[in-house]
Amino acid sequence: MSERATPFYCPYCGDEDLRPAEDADRAWLCGACRRVFTVNFLGIRLGQGAK
């Protein structure tokens, strides 16, 4: 999987100044709080009885 899941804001401080982190695979750097984090999409779960 080569595509990045693109976050719209930092999950720690809520700032929108995000850029891809160069030193980690599929990671994002927050320009405000300087945290580096990854975003993973696991899937979609349907409720019970859904078809």
- Which of 18, 20, 38, 40 has the alpha carbon at shortest distance from 30? 18
- pLDDT confidence bin for 2, thresholds 50/70/90: low
Provide, rounded to the nearest whole percent, the portion of the chain with pLDDT above 90.
53
Look at residue 16 and tell me whether its pLDDT is greater than 90: yes
pTM beyond 0.75, yes or no: no
Domains of the chain: 1-41 (2.20.25)
pLDDT of the residue at 15: 98
**CA atoms in the 13 A half-sphere facing the CB of 12:** 14
CB 8 within 8 A of CB 16: yes
What is the rounded CA–CA span in Å between residue 28 and residue 34? 10
Mean pLDDT, all residues of the chain = 87
In the block, which residue shows the tokens 């719209």?
8
Look at residue 41 and tell me whether its pLDDT is greater than 70: yes
